[in-house]
Amino acid sequence: MPPKDAKSAQKKGGKLSKAEKERLQKEEDERRQKEEEEARLLAEKEEQRRLERERKEQEEHQRLELKDKDRREDELNELRHLLEEKQTAVTKWETESREKAKWDKYMCCDGSPDPSVQQEINTFINLWREDPEVQIKPVLKECALALQLLEELEGMLRDQPEPADALRYQETLLSIQTLIQSKHDHTTEEILKWANAHSDIETGNMQTVVQDDNITLCLWANLNKNPRFKGFYFEEVGLGFELPKQLAVSDIAVRILHTHYDHLSHLANLKGQTPSRMSLGLGAREEPLLEGATPARERGETERDGDRRGSTQQGGAEEEVQSVRGSEGRKSAVSVMSMKEERRSGQKQLEDVKQKLEEKGSQIDTMLEGDDSGEGDSAPTPMDTVIDSYEDQVVDLQQYTPLGGVFYCDVFRLPPQSQQLNGWEMRELLDTGLQPFPYHTDQSQIQGSASMKLEDSGVLTCPPVGVTVTLPDSVLFLEDPQVARWDPESQHWKTDCINPVPVREDSWCVYLLGAQRNQRLRIKEHSEAFSPELDPGSEFHSTFLHMLRDGMSPAGQERHTHHLFVDAVHRLLCATRPLTYS
């Protein structure tokens, strides 16, 4: 209650005295200081509570991490012990199976040779090479036996024999593979010799399909020579081709051979992964490397993870196209436009490149000296561009896996057909075998070749041949397949000389599961969001399996899996590494 004199002063003039103002200011300062002190004490209490909460959370995290670490160590020890037991059982089973297979083969007495005995396998190869049988069914039966021998040889090579034995097994394996391909050519020639006797009434041409467990053979003979012919599709096997007009009016035969095995990729491993820069620049070949050898320098990953391979025969030489790990293409059509430049002109152009390089040797030396001394930044030379492009076109089999077998597409000269004259059947006999049809595509469309860097190069106007394949159901592609062709000169899979590949596929989904640490979070009371605080009683789970095991029944946690299944899953996980702990 203000004093009477203050009231009287207010009534008189409404002004406060100096003492009154000082008193009021002092009271205001005391009130402000009190509020600031209360706020400071409240902030200190909140900070103490926050620090205490963080300390408890950190202690809880450390406790859970230590518990999870101890549990992981126990599980890893248990897993190692389990894998050792399973591996011992698998090794024992493999040894017994190998001995049993040898005994069964010995007791079978079917005349099949033993690949480990050089005399027997040489006799088999020589007798089969001299066998005049060209009918498709008996030849395919013999090819099936040869493939079994190849599997046995590959198994013996995986056992890491002595170097001399390994070299002998490798030579035998290559001989059998070459002989199988030769037998396929002989049977193809025999079928094409009788093309007019098996021509189709509707089309006037001959088309046939032969299948077994190992190959699919599609043959088409151009007997009608209709200039409006565009192509043919083998409905029963999902393979087809498209021909330009130049080939539609020629005496040709088209063969599409799909082998469920791959006899080409191992040649790239023997040849080496990447050619050296100097050998490539001078048009020379790199010396072969042993299988599994590491290249001198690693190449960067190209663009995609893997593929489907189709192939086309052009330029008088054979091209094979195979897929590298790629898209889910079950019954998806892949249209491949494969082009091959003329061998002789290519060799001549490479010689011209070599000659130009020799003429400009001093300039190259100067450029190298400037790079070593670090004098400025210069633009890459055309030859560097060609080299880099070449290396990018080679498929690195250490990063990509061939899938689905190999598709061989060949364009042959049609063998002479028989003619009826006065009751006689006459046929021109040739001892040249199947002759590739000399068809050269437009060189200007070939990608990444050294000929593109030369001026005044001749350009042909022959359009390429198209091939359509259906990816087999036995292979699952999770990405668009990467198509590559086999280059018989460099012994590598390459991605050049192939037009963009359209892929038609059904809708598909990929569900990704992050197998990292999972933890239960507390849900806020007044919101659907999660609180950063841990739910009481929660634990860390290093992998998704740990989280599943918390809710598993005792029957689900039992570990009585067969040792072969455990070994297969372990090998698959080690090869793909889908689960990692971070």
Instruction: Give pLDDT, residue 548.
Output: 66
List helix spans (H) across 382-523: 382-393
Residue 274 banded pLDDT, cuts 50, 70, 90:
very low
Per-residue pLDDT at 192: 93
What was the pLDDT predicted at 504? Answer: 60
Q: Could you give the C-alpha distances from 359 to 356, 387, 517, in angstroms and in order? A: 5, 19, 63
User: What would the DSSP string read from start to end of 134-200?
Assistant: --HHHHHHHHHHHHHHHHHHHHHHHT---HHHHHHHHHHHHHHHHHHHHHHHHHHHHHHHTTGGG--
Residue matched to tokens 């050294």: 450
Mean pLDDT of 512-537: 46
**More confident: 303 or 186:** 186
Give the Cα separation of 89 and 77 in Å (integer).
Answer: 18
What rounded mean pLDDT belongs to the chain?
72
Which of 65-69, 127-131, 206-210 is least confident?
A: 65-69
Please state which of the ranges 184-198, 216-230, 326-340 shows the lowest mean pLDDT: 326-340
77 — phi, psi (to 5°)?
-65, -40
The pLDDT value given to residue 539: 61
Q: pLDDT tens digits for 544-573?
A: 566 666 677 776 677 778 889 888 888 888
Tell me which range, 51-60, 73-82, 334-343, is most confidently predicted by mean pLDDT. 51-60
d(CA 572, CA 425): 60
- Give the residue-averaged pLDDT of 336-365: 44
pLDDT at 44: 93
Helices and strands: H and E segment counts in the chain: 14, 15
Residue 440 confidence (pLDDT) above 80: no
Could you tell me the two tokens for 300? 């960067």
The least confident of 30-44, 104-118, 151-165, 309-323 is 309-323
**pLDDT recorded at residue 453:** 38
Burial class (CB in 10 A: 0-12, 13-18, 19+), 160: exposed
Q: How far apart are CA 394 and CA 275, in angstroms?
A: 9
